[in-house]
Structure formats: C-alpha cells, structure tokens
Amino acid sequence: MRRPRSPLLGWPVALIVTLVTGCDNVDWGGADIAIVPPPPQASGEAEAVAPTEERVPEGPVLYYVRADQGRGTMVPIGEIAGDSLRPIRAEADWERYGQRFIAAHLRPGSEFTLFRRGARVGTFILESSAIPGVDVCPRAPYATGVLELTAGAEDIPEFLAIPKASARSDLPLGVRVELVPDRRMQLLGPILAERLLRARGAPLPGNWTRAMAQLQPFPIAGAEAPAFSATFLVGDSLGIGGDDEGYSLFFIAHPVPQVGYDTAYAAFNPYEQTGKAAPRLADFLDWDRDGRTELLLEVYGTAGSWFEALAPIDGGWRTVLSTQCR
C-alpha cells in the first residue's frame, strides 16, 4: 500500500622547516622537518562533513506516458541496467536530485520514442518538466509534452517511452494487432487461480467471472503461442480507492505442450496484511534488448498507484523494480 507522502575536512598537517646556519660562513646542513600533531578538538566540536551528490542515472531511462488529447504526461520508471532497472529515487534531497535529473534527462525539446505492445507508435516531444510537491511520494520529476503518433495510435491511453537516441529502431512501426484471450486462456485462467488460492488457504470467489479483473496475453520468447497474465480480485475493484479488505491474485501462465498452460509466476496480496495492492498489466516491451519481453504493472492502492517491473530471469519471473513509496 502506498505510504503517506512523506570528504571529511581534516586538520592540515603542519610542516616546520628549521634551517641551521653557522656564524661566519653560511653552511646549509640540510633541513629538519618536524610533523606537528593537530591541536586537540574542543569538547562538543563536531567535524564538518561535506555533502555528497546522489547519483542520477547515466544510462537510458524507461518512462511511462499517459495520453490526453494529443498531449502526454511522462514519468520515469527506472534506469535500464542489464536485465534490471535501477530506481529513480533520492535518499535525502529530492529538490537537488530532481534538478540534476531534469538537467541531465528532461531538457525542453528532447524527443522520446513511444512504444505500445512492443511496437514503435510515435514520438513524445518534451516541453516542460517539474518536481512534484511535497505531498507526492516518491517525488520523481515528471514532464509534459506533445505526442506525435502513427495512424491508429490516437486513441491509445498509455505508452512506454525511451530516449530517442537509445531506443531500438529495429522493432516494428505502427499499431500491432492486439492479442486477445482465446478460449483456452478463459477456461484455464480460473482453474489456475483456484489452484493457487487453495495452496494459500484463501477463500475462493463466489463468482469467477466477476473476480477475473484482467486477462492479458503477451508474446514470449521461444514459443509460438503467447503467454498470459491474469488478475483476480475478491472484495475489491481494479482502481485507486476502496479499503484494506479482500485480496488480489496476479499470475503469469506460460504455454506448455500437451498441457495448455501452467503457472510461471504468482503474487498473492491479502490486504489485511499487505494493504491494498491490485496489479494490472499496463504494457510489455523488450526494453533491455535481450530478446525477451519484460512487463510493466500498475498497482492500485487505496490512495494512489505505483509501478512494478517484472523480467524473465533464470527460467522464471522476478520483480526487478517497485516505485512504491515506503
């Protein structure tokens, strides 16, 4: 659940050089060097510590863009680093961190390639950026700008974005035909969900159709058939608000020859213990260029939402980033 918003300066080493001279003739016998220790520190006197700069991303950053009538609001998700994402987060001074992030990554006129379902669908042209107010957590900088979209993408409500200089140009251009759940997914989804819930001792939904809040196919490397993700909710709805009662179940199912589908990842959130956390698949993209699709989830809480990124690692799936404020 989203939480409320919420070099040492040492003493210089003193070197005293003593020159020894004769009476009539000047005879340099060399120089005696004495190291004098610093005077004792006064009681209660604190050492001064120079502030250190927090690291801002150096590599390309993955962003999420929400569209509204030809314009967009863009927020950073994480710095792409191998098969993981580094968080965009200040440990102390959000104002200083945000200013440095904006100077490095969000300059006016910067262009970002927009993606939807693994295809390039346009460009985000940045006009302005800012740091949210103190009541927002985390206070990651955001940007607003204009969307230039390919035909057919005008009504898409959300995108993933990467700086144009770092974005892949070999991915398909234009809106791809959306994958839709087939009959097998619709039948096997509740069966897999029931198995997962029974293993966790959770009460079963009274109506499986109503409990299945999302069923979304996505392509998976090495398989002709798509995988799919599913969200099941009991005592909740897929959006911000509600209370900390009920639970959510999110899972990923992979195609298995002669079996159909089997669970490859599952996350169960009993709200009384975890607080409300209702995830949905927002989009997918091979953002780290390893030939495998990664997933970005938006997770809804009672007072706001946050993002989580899942990546296929070592034959399974792993959460590589959460932007939830703690």
Q: How many angstroms separate the CA atoms of 94 and 208, rounded? A: 44
Structure tokens at 242: 């509600």
Q: How many angstroms separate the CA atoms of 307 and 275, rounded? A: 16
Range of the domain at 117: 61-163
- pLDDT of 26 over the 60 cut: no
Apex CA 98: angle with CA 124 and CA 301, to 5°?
75
Q: What is the pLDDT of residues 165-224, one digit of tens each?
A: 999 999 999 999 989 999 999 999 999 999 999 999 999 999 999 999 999 999 999 889
286 contacts 10 by C-beta, under 8 angstroms:
no
Residues 238 and 316 in one domain: yes
Q: What is the pLDDT of residues 297-315, one digit of tens each?
A: 999 999 999 999 999 998 8
Whether 12 is covered by a domain: the verdict is no
pTM: 0.83
Whether 18 is covered by a domain: the verdict is no
Q: How many angstroms separate the CA atoms of 267 and 264, rounded? A: 11
Residues 193 and 292 in one domain: yes
Residues 194 and 132 in one domain: no
Q: How many angstroms separate the CA atoms of 106 and 74, rounded? A: 10
Q: How many angstroms separate the CA atoms of 11 and 115, rounded? A: 56
Residues 136 and 210 in one domain: no
- pLDDT of 53 over the 90 cut: no
Higher pLDDT, 61 or 44: 61
253 contacts 245 by C-beta, under 8 angstroms:
no
- Residue carrying structure tokens 């004098």: 36
Q: How many angstroms separate the CA atoms of 322 and 277, rounded? A: 12
Residues 205 and 110 in one domain: no
